[in-house]
Structure 1
Amino acid sequence: MKKLYTLYILIITQGLSLIGSRMSAIAVGLWLFQVKGSTTYLLLIPFFNEITAVFFGGVAGIAVDRWKRKYAMIFGDLGQAVGTILLFVSAFSNKLNIYLIYAAVIVQGVFTLFESIAADAATTMMVPETHRDRVNAIKEMTFPLAGVIAPVVSGFLYVMIGIKGILIIDFITFIVAVIVLIFVNIPDPEIQENLIQDKESFAKELGIGFKYLLNAKGLFGLTIYVTFINFMINGPLELVIPYVTKINGSSFILSIILGVMNLGAFIGAAIIAILKFKFTRVNTILLGISISAVMFLVFGIARMPLLLGVSLFILMMPLPIINAMFKSIIQVKVPPRLQGRVFAAVAQISNAIVPMSFVLTGFLVDNILEPAVASSKWKGISFIIGSKPGSGISLILVLTGIIIMIVSLIVNNIASIKYVEERLANYEIKEDDI
């Protein structure tokens, strides 16, 4: 139980760090959209943040499995602090340089990878299998909670201390997280002697995580499915700010809807943290994704603020549940000494594809769909999504929901994915190890 309390302390400090990061992201994101007036510039921030996993995921995975996981987490937090310093340098010049912003985002993406992989792998050694869904859900709660708190706090503080002050707060939260990590004990799995002494090629070790996933066919298929879903939803979800702004125009309504959006994700994570589902984890994932798909349709057609908020609230509820269940499956099925590399392989597969969602979505909205709204060809679908500004984004949202529903129906009939929990043996951890 002592290790469980230690994990909760880490979740709290990492959550504070996340709030600081979200405050910085809000300030920088609003500046980009206001100054550039383009969704493409806005969507390039998450693109650069996530694409780093493709190039550095393997290295991070090996480091997590070879280092003490505590050191990997400290390394990740310190590196993210460096990214915040780069943003501060840009702000200090009183002219936010867009290239320096993207450079800072890349740095933070690299070191976030180290911290997140180490934290997910450490959870296995600190939490019994029966509590993992709940703990993963509590971890998932920190992101939407930061999404609720950060807009309010950053909006209030921005007037008084400006972007420089917010970046300083962000930096301090990273340092607090590092200090806490120094004084806590995080257990590590036993590392085989031949792994330490192995002098085989670095490239071979980079492929261990991928090899494990490929051999576990159901787990690999589930990874591809979850990756595709993330590809489909990430870009469209980043359109909430420009979409609501174009169809409503009220910054107050926008702030309320953004708060409701994050509250939905928080409530979803809280549900899985409190209640024990009777469904298998895979069936829970399939059900959650289907609910989100339907809500994409509703959100894309809706125009009234109340319906926009309700649909987005329900859309977001299953997402942290899906992430928590997916992480639990990996933690249960993969030996702890390999989890750093397997989680890294999952991140590389996901981030090789998902970041393109931001680029593709931004390009389609700015260059094709929104300009097409005023054309005569648009009349054929205008009775569903309208022909006013924002209707191009509406089409993206509706199509996203339809495609996700079709793919989920197909996956529901693939036995190797649907029954992976029954067909793939669990990795047994001795009670003394936890």
Structure 2
Amino acid sequence: MSVFILIWFGQLVSIIGSSLTDFALGIWVYQRTGSITQFTLITVSGTLPLIVVSPLAGVLVDRWNRRWAMILSDSCAALATVAIALLIATNRIEIWHIYLATTICSTFCALQWPAYTAATTLLVPKQHLSRASGMMQLAGSTTQLISPVLGGVLLGTIHIEGIILLDFATFFVSLITLFLVRFPEINTVKTSDTKQVGRSSILQEITSGCAYITAREGLLGLLIFMVANNFFFNIFNVLFTPFVLSITSTNVLGIIVSIGGIGSVASSLLISTWGGSQQLIYSLFGFQLLGGLCILFMGLYTSIPLLTLSIFLFSFGLPIIYGCNQVIWQRKVPPDLQGRAFAVRSMIGSLFRLLAYLVSGPLMEKIFQPLMISNSPIAVSIGKIIGTGTQAGMSLIFIVVGCCTMLTTIVAYQYPPLRLVEDELPDVIPTN
């Protein structure tokens, strides 16, 4: 675990720096343009490359040394970041420069994340994969908790140029940790025979990742299940901030978001130290069900204490859900195929995340909000519980999203290949 912990620390520092830059650039673009569309395009430019580049990135990760893949990714992202800092400092920055830099960073993130995740399988003993996954979730939870607060403070002191240069410095921390270690070669790990997949064509190698997943009903079911529920979760995430602001102040919103962040950090710390359940799939089902129930309660009741408790429990479950999902994939996919398989997951997940971003606004404005403003039967009946108006429209979509999440989980549980994926599909890595 010592090598993994060193790499994890470097990645944690780098992720915090990148999150500060993302936060600062988002505020800068919105203040500069006053356009929500321009602000949203930052998210789009950060998501599209993951959809387009991930299949090729997965092949490269499996072909290359994964340490060098991570070094290349961090180096190129650092250069794009410092270019933006120089453009801002010389007052030559244009909005399209931000989109281009975000696209470049996202492109290399498509290479870095599968390499990082697949390398973890080589570095960490099988029995400690849950702890490693918990640490990776902890990095994300910690970043989400401190970045908005720290970013707001730094914007007022060192300004956006200083934040971007700080981000550039964090890349060096990541690179130093990567240069200090060595990764095991893939061929030194005993796996099932996957060399039957031809390497004569990049297209063949791209499709081999898809073929491995589709040939195993349990993994395919897990992929579909996670993508479906993440789609619902992302709709909830997009609408959560305007929903809370429709019933309370920005200060209360900040407190609620911070408490949610504390829930994520607490859960991640628990997994990192304890290691998690032996039956990962049941933990995943249970906390997905809890997440849907929390969203449902937030739609039904707008009491601030209940809303705060719901977001705490929802956030507490997320690291467990994603951690259990990650470990199952690491145990069931051979190391020499993990780059491709994880890239397929990233591509499909990013596609549906982008779809959730795009449909959330129209769903709210064109369907749910009119239903709760007009004298429709829904407004007359459900309106007695959740009220009417804009806030009630968001409450209704939360109720629907929560019910869909729980229903999807119940249906998935009834599918034996998914429910029994840990037992029926053999592990492909030995216990060290």
TM superposition score normalised by structure 1:
0.90
> Displacement, 1:273?
2.2
Structure 2 counterpart of 1:395: 396
Measured in 2, the distance between the counterparts of 1:424 and 1:93 equals 57
Letter in 2 for 1:355: L
Query: Separation in 2 of the partners of 1:113 and 1:298?
Result: 36
2:386 maps to 385
The count of corresponding residues between Structure 1 and Structure 2 is 427
* % identical aligned pairs: 29
What secondary structure, in the 3-state scheme, does the structure 2 residue paired with 1:190 have? helix
Per the alignment, residue 410 of structure 2 pairs with 409
Within 5 Å, give how 1:324-363 maps onto structure 2: 324-363=323-362
Q: 1:45 to 1:229 in 2, by over 3 A?
A: farther
**1:43–1:362 CA contact under 8 A, matched in 2:** no
Shift, 1:39, TM fit: 6.0
Q: Cα offset for 1:410?
A: 0.6
CA 1:240/1:87 → structure 2, altered by over 3 Å: closer, same or farther? Answer: farther
- Cα distance in 2 for partners of 1:304, 1:108 equals 40
Give the 3-state SS of the residue equivalent to 1:247 in structure 2. Answer: coil
Question: In structure 2, how many angstroms separate the alpha carbons of the residues matched to 1:253 and 1:33?
Answer: 22
The change in CA–CA distance for 1:22 and 1:418 in structure 2 (over 3 A counts) is same
Q: How far is the alpha carbon of 1:189 from its aligned partner?
A: 1.0
Matched residue, 1:203: 203
Which residue matches 2:46? Answer: 49
* Matched residue, 1:212: 212
C-alpha distance in structure 2 between counterparts of 1:336 and 1:251, whole Å:
46
Q: What are the ranges of 5 or more consecutive residues in structure 2 without an aligned counterpart?
A: none
Q: Distance in 2 between matches of 1:38 and 1:427?
A: 50
Matched, 1:426 2:423: no
Per the alignment, in what secondary structure is the counterpart of residue 428 of structure 1?
A: coil
- 3-state SS of paired residue (1:10): helix
Deviation at 1:83, TM superposition (A): 3.9
227-236 or 38-47: bigger deviation:
38-47
Question: What is the root-mean-square deviation of aligned Cα atoms in Å?
Answer: 2.7
State how far apart, in whole Å, the 1-side matches of 2:24 and 2:327 are: 34
Unaligned stretches of 5+ in structure 1?
A: none
Deviation at 1:430? 7.1
Map 1:243-322 onto structure 2 (within 5 A). 243-248=243-248, 250-278=249-277, 280-322=279-321
Q: Measure the CA separation in 2 of the matches of 1:368 and 1:34.
A: 30
CA distance, structure 2, for counterparts of residue 334 and residue 75 of structure 1: 25
Correspondence for 2:5 among 8, 11, 20: 8
Structure 1 contact 65–337 (Cα < 8 Å) conserved: yes
Q: 1:308–1:185: structure 2 CA closer, same or farther, 3 Å change rule?
A: same
Segment of structure 1 superposing worse, 278-287 or 236-245: 236-245
SS at match of 1:409: helix
Q: Map Cα deviations across residues 64-109 of structure 1 (whole Å, 9 max, x no partner).
A: 1111110011112123224424543664476975443333322222
Change in Cα spacing, 1:84 to 1:376, as seen in structure 2 (3 Å) is farther
How far apart are 1:352 and its partner, in Å? 2.7
Which residue of 153, 158, 177 maps to 2:155? 158
Given candidates 120, 132, 135, the residue that maps to 2:129 is 132
How far apart, CA to CA, are the structure 1 residues paired with 2:212 and 2:236?
32
Query: 332-341 vs 382-391, which deviates more?
Result: 382-391
Using the alignment, how far apart are the partners of 1:83 and 1:398 within structure 2?
42
Match of 1:183 in 2: 180
CA deviation digits over 1:165-187, x for unaligned, max 9? 21221121122211221122222
Superposed CA deviations along residues 371-417 of structure 1, whole A, max 9, x for unmatched, are: 66544447333333333443333222221101011111111100011
1:200 is paired with a residue of what secondary structure?
coil
Alignment partner of 1:62 is 2:59: yes
